[in-house]
Amino acid sequence: MNSKLETQNSKLRVAIFGGSGYGGSELLRILLLHPNVEIALVTANEHAGKAVGEVHRNLLGLTDLQFTRAPEDLAPWGELDCVFLALPHGQAMEIAPRLPAETAVIDLSGDFRLRDASSFAQHYGREHSAMKAQAEFVYGLTETNREVIRTARRVANPGCFATATLLGLAPLVANNLLSERVIVDAKTGSSGSGAKPASNTHHPQRSNSFYAYKPFTHQHVPEIEQELSSIGDWQNELVFMTHSLPVARGIFASIYTLMKEEISAADARAMFAEFYRDSFFVRLVEGSPDINWVKNTNFCDIGFAARGRQLVVFTAIDNLVKGAAGQAVQNMNLMFGLDEKTGLMLMGSNP
C-alpha cells in the first residue's frame, strides 16, 4: 500500500461501483470532502449519463461528476488506488476477482464476509462463485481488526447489524466474561433495505408500524459468530432478532448478557473504555444512547445497565455511515497509512 508520506502528497484515485444507492450516496458525500481522495469513476448503470447531483439532490452543486456504466474491461482501471463496491449482494463476487491485484478493494455487500461457502448459500440464497477470491478478503470491523486491515488489499466491510452487535460484545468476549446465551434485540431504520422502494419500506407501511423480520435467519448471524470466534473463546448461544423501526436512519441494539460474575455498569464502562482506548469513533455514554446522536456520523455510542450478573449493553449507530460507507472510508484510511479519522469528522445535529 502507499506510504503515509506518498498519500499525503498525492490524492488517492478511487472508484465507486454502485453509486446510486444509499451506500453509494454516502460514499460520495464523505469522499467528495476527503482531503486525500479524487473520485475518478462512479458507476450506476440505470443512471448512466446523469449528473450525480441530479440523482442525489443533496449533492447538487457540489460536484461535476456523472454516473457511467460499469466498464466491461477492468484492466485499464489498474491506475486506481481503491475501488469501493457498493452493489447488491451477488454482484461484487463477479467484479472483485477481475480487478487488478494491486488495486485495493473494499466491498460493502455481504459477498466476501463469510468464509464458509455453505453458510453463504444458506443465508444469501445463492451459491458463492468466487471463494478463491474470498480467501483474500479480511473482515473490516475496524476497531477489532485494525492491524490486519492496515496491510490488507481486500476488505469485506461488516454488515450494519453486525457492526452494532460486535462493538457491543467484543470487550466481553475478549475478556471471557460471558455465561450462557446472549440475546440481541436490534432495530433498524428503513434505509437499511436500500434505495429501491419495496412493500416493507414503503412509507405508509413503515411510518406508523413496528414488526420483527427474519427471526433466527438473518444473514448477519453467521458473520457475527464468525468474528466473535476470532476475538475470543466464543461458545455461547446467540439469539438474534431484528425489527423494523419507523425511522429512516439508525440502528439501536439492546444486547442482553449474563456474566460469570456480578458486574456494575461502572465496571463495564471502565472495561469498554480500556478496550476501545484507541478507538475515536466509539463513545461511551451514561445510560442509554440515542440514534439521534449518531445520525450522519461515524460514531457508535454505547451505554450500559447492570443488575447482579445481568449486563445489558446498548449500542447505537447510523446504519449508512458507521454501518456502511463511513466504516469503509475508515478502513481505506488505514489501508493507505492515513489517520483513520480523515474525512470522517462528521458531526450530528441537535435536534
Just list the catalytic residues: 160
Cα angle for residues 268, 274, 277 (degrees, 5° grid): 130
DSSP string covering 170-200: HHHHHTT-EEEEEEEEEEE-GGGG-SS--TT
Cα–Cα distances in angstroms (integers) from residue 243 to residues 104, 192, 204, 213, 227, in the given order: 34, 11, 17, 6, 22
Under 8 Å between Cβ of 177 and 159: no
Under 8 Å between Cβ of 137 and 335: no
Q: β-strands 178-188, 282-284: how paired?
A: unpaired
Q: What is the DSSP letter of 321?
A: I
Instruction: Give which of 149, 194, 154 is closest to 18, Cα–Cα.
Output: 194
Q: Residue 168 corresponds to which cell in the numbers above?
A: 457491543
Hey, how many other C-beta atoms are within 10 angstroms of the C-beta on 191? 23
Measured CA to CA, the distance from residue 338 to residue 325 in angstroms comes to 17
Under 8 Å between Cβ of 282 and 276: yes
Backbone angles phi, psi at 299, to 5 degrees: -85, 150
Q: β-strands 37-43, 104-107: how paired?
A: unpaired
Alpha helices in 14-111 (DSSP H): 22-31, 52-55, 92-95
Q: Which residue has cell 447492570?
A: 306
